[in-house]
Amino acid sequence: MLSLLALTLLLLCGRSYAQKNTKDQPNFLVIVADDMGFSDVGAFGGEINTPNIDKLAEEGVRYTNFYVAPTCSPTRSMLLSGMDSHLAGLGNMYERTAQNQMDVVGYEGHLRTDIPALSEILKENGYHTYMAGKWHLGKAKEYLPHARGFERSFSMLSGAGSYFDMRSMDDHIDKNHFSEDGEYLEELPKNYYATTTFTDKIISYIDSNKADGKPFFAYLAHQAPHDPLAVPNKWLRKYQGVFDKGWDVLRDERLERMVEMGILSEKTELGERLWYVPGFDKLKPLAQVVTARKMEVFAAVLDYMDMEIGRLIKYLEDNNLRENTYIVFFSDNGPDVAQKSETYKKYPATNKANWMAKTYNHGHENWGRKGSWTAYGPSWAQVSAAPFNGTKYTTYEGGIRSPLIVVTPEKTNAGQINKEALMQVKDIAPTFLELAGVTPPSTFKGKPTLPMQGKSWAATIHGQEKSPRTDADYIGVELWNCKAIRKGPWKLVSMVIPYGNGEWELYNLDDDAGERHDLAESNPEKLQELIAHWEEYKTVNNVIAPSNSIYDGLEDKLPPRPEFYDPSFYRGSETVPEIDNKN
């Protein structure tokens, strides 16, 4: 009698313990890089040594039309909720919430607690759930990974900080915040280095339960290669001299390799060089060497992350866990143009400068070492974003199109490149649930909950469909009143000053991946069609333009921008202004 009652309750609650044979359910591993550009890894045209990520690409499929948010926490909210960031609680980053967004549902600054997280759903359906790395989805106890369905977790709660210790990224935080299994940490593990420790933790969590036959969902959220860039000393000179050609030559070389690989068409043009970045050949020889040093450190940080990804994959293989595991790898957004922890006006400049001087070492001889704050800045961010226009913080392709690698247990279509699938990070949650045979819940904590918006990739990654979306479907992105709609080959985008003038721009990305040729005037019907989609997207997702912008004041920090897309400021122009390239 009691057994029948228990089974009935489980069925009524939509839980599926009794319906599933957990030994038949697959494992899921999601690996997220932080601030990595589209072409940084070798499999996407980069010159940086990433053999383990490249091997995943050989065993899986590279998808070239995968979209994320312009910054990290909105992307992470979509990953775990299957919802648009404006509904998942990160309509804006909590650090940047505008006055008119305060106390608005969807702008809480943490993952909403009335929407089930992927980890919570899978845990209720018989999965072990593990998380290690950067969280950035809330710091209060009720928002920590442990409270959101992760059985085991070790997390850096802030957006960035030192790779070696608890030094924070902001002058208003005395030290960075970490938690493990729902408890705040006062000190870090011995010999802490973020990339290694995060990998150690995720391996130890998987290993602790490997014998019980239950499937797992593991989320490894690397801090790398977010600034402050730092690596163990023996890695500091690994890339010495590799980037001495400069950013213009290296962008061209990456484009050439991507065309040879079949990632891009032969007609692809690079996005315009940022108007305030000089040609590399305009710098004096000493300045070239010093500036290239920043990219050497960035490359070492990424290379080190690749090594640790290889260690994790080898662990899975050595323990017979690989053959039933789906692996997903991507970057949370495009590369960062900031020279230091903040480019944008937030704190009084003197206070920030004094805090940075006291907290971090900034001399050229310290770049990449423990205790330094090293960032490679806009010059090299353009290389990471190649072939695209824009970087992190923008809704141009360089800010929101991420490299994506998916490996199925069967290694379906191994080595192929899919340029047809239109995909978004909010698709991952419904994909995993379908593959696990789990129906997304219609209620959560006894109340109705929003249905997931993402589209499952199950048929696409198994080679049965080219795309989870048709040319009639669209996806939208917004942050800080920077907007974008993607539909088929068409892209609608609006950027605010200083990156744009707020007007709508229209591009055909099949012909113009670099967003160089605005078709808004020549194709008014398509423009209006996509503007209508934007209005629908804004209404459905409760998009509220902030009363202030992250870019406020930035126009005073950069050289004056010419009339937008003035041909005199194209690549190689003699009129590009010189800038101070000091860190």
Q: DSSP states of 163-229 as a string?
A: SSSS--SSTT-SS--EEETTEE-SSPPTT--HHHHHHHHHHHHHHHTGGG---EEEEEE--TTSSSP
- Residue 340 pLDDT > 70: no
- Residue 171 pLDDT > 80: no
Residue 295: name the closest of 360, 384, 231 by CA. 384
Cα–Cα distance measured from residue 22 to residue 436, given in angstroms and rounded to the nearest whole number: 9
**Can you give the CATH number for the domain in which 255 is found?**
3.40.720.10
Q: Are 456 and 430 within 8 A, CB to CB?
A: yes
Could you count the other beta carbons within 10 Å of the beta carbon of residue 14? 16
99-103, 118-122, 353-357 — which is least confidently predicted? Answer: 353-357
Residue 148 included in any domain: yes
Cα–Cα distance measured from residue 468 to residue 458, given in angstroms and rounded to the nearest whole number: 8
Tally helices (H) and strands (E) across the chain. 14, 17
- State pLDDT tens for residues 495-515: 998 888 899 999 999 999 999
Residue 580 included in any domain: no
Sign of the C-alpha dihedral computed for residues 183, 178, 74 and 269 taken in this order:
negative
User: Where residue 152 falls among pLDDT bands split at 50, 70, 90?
Assistant: very high
| Per-residue pLDDT, 354 | 79
Chain position carrying tokens 């920030």: 352
Q: The pTM is what? A: 0.92
Question: What is the domain count for the chain?
Answer: 1
Residue 109 included in any domain: yes
Largest CA distance in the chain: 85
- Residue 5 pLDDT > 70: no
| Per-residue pLDDT, 236 | 96
Residue 103: Cβ-neighbour burial (10 angstroms; 0-12, 13-18, 19+)? exposed
Residue positions annotated with a catalytic role: 72, 136
Instruction: Provide the CB-side half-sphere exposure for 243 (13 A, CA).
Output: 31
Residue 551 included in any domain: no
Q: Where are the extended beta strands (E) located within 244-400?
A: 325-331
DSSP class of residue 407 equals E
The span from the first CA to the last CA of the chain, in angstroms, equals 71
- State pLDDT tens for residues 195-211: 999 999 999 999 999 99
139-143, 209-213, 346-350, 406-410 — which is least confidently predicted? Answer: 346-350
Q: Are 130 and 206 within 8 A, CB to CB?
A: yes
Contacts with 101 (C-beta within 8 Å, 6 or more apart), sequence order: 91, 92, 107, 544, 546, 547
Sign of the C-alpha dihedral computed for residues 192, 196, 198 and 203 taken in this order:
negative
Cα–Cα distance measured from residue 219 to residue 154, given in angstroms and rounded to the nearest whole number: 11
- Which value, in Å, is the radius of gyration of the alpha carbons in the chain? 23
Domain carrying residue 199: 31-471
Residue 518 included in any domain: no
Inter-helix orientation angle 285-318/194-208, to 10°: 10
Residue 320 included in any domain: yes
- State pLDDT tens for residues 110-146: 999 999 999 999 999 999 999 999 999 999 999 999 9
Residue 287 included in any domain: yes
Residue 230, strand partner residues:
368
Specify which of 359-363, 429-433, 558-562 reaches the highest per-range mean pLDDT.
Answer: 429-433
- Residue 100 pLDDT > 50: yes
User: Where residue 347 falls among pLDDT bands split at 50, 70, 90?
Assistant: very low
User: What letter represents residue 120's amino acid?
Assistant: E
Q: 3-state class of 555 per DSSP? A: helix
- Residue 445 pLDDT > 50: yes
Q: Are strands 61-67 and 423-424 parallel, antiparallel or unpaired?
A: parallel
Residue 167 included in any domain: yes
Residue 425: name the closest of 440, 394, 403 by CA. 403
Q: 3-state class of 92 per DSSP? A: coil
| Per-residue pLDDT, 530 | 98
Task: Tell me the mean pLDDT in the region 341-348.
Answer: 41
Residue 156: name the closest of 139, 175, 133 by CA. 133
Q: Are 199 and 220 within 8 A, CB to CB?
A: yes
At 390, list the tokens.
Answer: 């824009």
Instruction: Calculate the average pLDDT of the chain.
Output: 90
User: Where residue 3 falls among pLDDT bands split at 50, 70, 90?
Assistant: very low
